């Protein structure tokens, strides 16, 4: 059930039965708002991170934006998808992508992923979280890499975002990167967190957030407050609505609080 598809960002090895693979087959693109924002933030020579890289669609986008003098570090803990990611970096001849078969979190160690039936007709491989029954992978603190001058981080790690922030505290304090963060309530709850808790932690780090209000409104751009004046430039190509989250804290009201797959609700900002 594997094939190769030509999409807007390049050529990609995909599972044709996977949710992302189906999107690429049908539309030839994935999350166009990511490119619309990233091309305003990322410059040639930058160091960028793709955490929860999946098959590498956004890794490829970032690698093209950083150019041969830049570096993209792409992390993917699932073994087969890590192999797929490596293949897509090679297929697009992007030698500035460095891949890690690892998760990111608060500690250095080992984790298990949820089990995945790769042959199921309706599989969503990108929705796999740290759990049990699946692949075993290393977990790394970002701070353990002692990175310098990180410009941009895409963070899509299925509910482990707060754990990541703990393990990346020194890197974030030093580099003050722009963050592109997926915030999904039901996944955060799996790890004892929630949308409100994560948003307030980012605000406490002196970031300003922009929520992307598309048909799956869980993506957020987080910009260091000292660079908030650049937000209009970062959003100048964005073709979907957005909402600013700026202040001391925010309250999040779930639109459907009892729904087990609630993504994210509406918010109220406290100046």
Q: Has residue 101 got a pLDDT over 50?
A: yes
Distance CA 248, CA 74 (A): 32
Instruction: Return the residue matching tokens 């073994």.
Output: 79
- Give residue 260's pLDDT band: very low, low, confident or very high (50, 70, 90): very low
Per-residue model confidence as pLDDT tens digits over 59-94: 999 999 999 999 999 999 999 999 999 999 999 999
Q: Is the pLDDT of residue 270 over 80?
A: no
**Among 126, 117, 163, 123, residue whose Cα is nearest residue 143:** 163
Distance CA 153, CA 6 (A): 25
pLDDT category at 269 given cuts 50, 70, 90 is low
> Residue 186: pLDDT band by 50, 70, 90 thresholds?
confident
pLDDT at 1: 78
Pairing of strands 71-75, 97-100: parallel
Range 217-240 average pLDDT? 96
Q: What is the pLDDT, as a whole number, of residue 215?
A: 84
Residue ranges and CATH numbers for the domains of the chain are 31-270 (3.40.50.150)
Q: Which of 116-125, 223-232, 245-254, 257-266 is the least confident region?
A: 257-266
Residue 32 has pLDDT above 90, yes or no: yes
pLDDT value, residue 234 = 98
pTM: 0.94
pLDDT at 251: 82
Question: Cα–Cα distance between 59 and 82 in angstroms, integer?
Answer: 12
- Distance (Å, whole) CA 20 – CA 128: 13
Task: Please list, in sequence order, all residues whose beta carbon lies within 8 angstroms of the beta carbon of residue 16, skipping any fewer than 6 positions away.
Answer: 1, 2, 3, 22, 25
DSSP state letters, the chain: -EEEEEETTEEEEEETTBHHHHHHHHHS-S-HHHHHHHHHH--TT-EEEEES-TTSHHHHHHHHHH-TTSEEEEE--SHHHHHHHHHHHHHTT-TTEEEESEEE-SSSEEEEEEP--TT-TTB-GGG--B-SEEEEEEEE-GGGG----EEEEEE--TT-HHHHHHHTHHHHHHH--EEEEE--HHHHHTTT--HHHHHHHHHHTTEEEEEE-SSSTTEEEEEEGGGGGGHHHHTTT--S-EEEE-SSEEEEE-SSTT-TT----EEEEE-
Please state the rounded mean pLDDT for residues 151-172.
97
Looking only at the bridges linking them, the beta strands covering 178-182 and 219-224 are: antiparallel
- Whether residue 151 contacts residue 178, with contact meaning beta carbons closer than 8 Å, is answered with yes
The per-residue pLDDT of the chain, averaged, comes to 93
Residues 89 and 82: beta-carbon distance below 8 Å: no
pLDDT range class, residue 267, cuts 50, 70, 90: low
CB distance 262 to 254 below 8 Å: yes
């Amino acid at each position: 059930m594997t094939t190769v598809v030509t999409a807007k960002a390049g050529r990609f090895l995909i599972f044709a039965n996977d949710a992302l693979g189906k999107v690429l087959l049908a539309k030839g693109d994935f999350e166009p708002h990511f490119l619309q924002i990233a091309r305003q933030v990322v410059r040639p020579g930058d160091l960028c991170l793709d955490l929860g890289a999946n098959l590498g669609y956004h890794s490829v986008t970032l690698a093209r934006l950083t150019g041969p003098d830049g570096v993209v570090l792409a992390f993917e803990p699932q073994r087969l998808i890590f192999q797929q990611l490596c293949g897509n970096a090679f297929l697009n001849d992007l030698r500035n992508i460095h891949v890690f078969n690892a998760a990111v979190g608060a500690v250095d160690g080992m984790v298990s992923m949820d089990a995945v039936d790769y042959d199921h007709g309706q599989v969503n491989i990108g929705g796999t979280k740290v759990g049990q029954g699946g692949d075993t992978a290393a977990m790394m603190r970002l701070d353990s890499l002692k990175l310098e001058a990180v410009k941009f981080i895409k963070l899509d790690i299925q509910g482990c975002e707060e754990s990541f922030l703990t393990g990346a505290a020194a890197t974030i304090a030093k580099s003050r990167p722009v963050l592109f963060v997926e915030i999904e309530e039901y996944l955060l709850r799996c790890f004892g967190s929630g949308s409100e808790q994560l948003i307030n932690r980012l605000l406490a780090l002196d970031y300003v957030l922009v929520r992307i209000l598309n048909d799956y409104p869980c993506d957020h751009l987080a910009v260091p407050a000292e660079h908030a004046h650049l937000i209009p430039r970062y959003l100048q190509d964005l073709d979907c609505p957005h909402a600013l989250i700026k202040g001391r804290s925010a309250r999040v009201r779930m639109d459907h609080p009892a729904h087990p797959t609630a993504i994210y609700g509406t918010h109220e900002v406290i100046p």
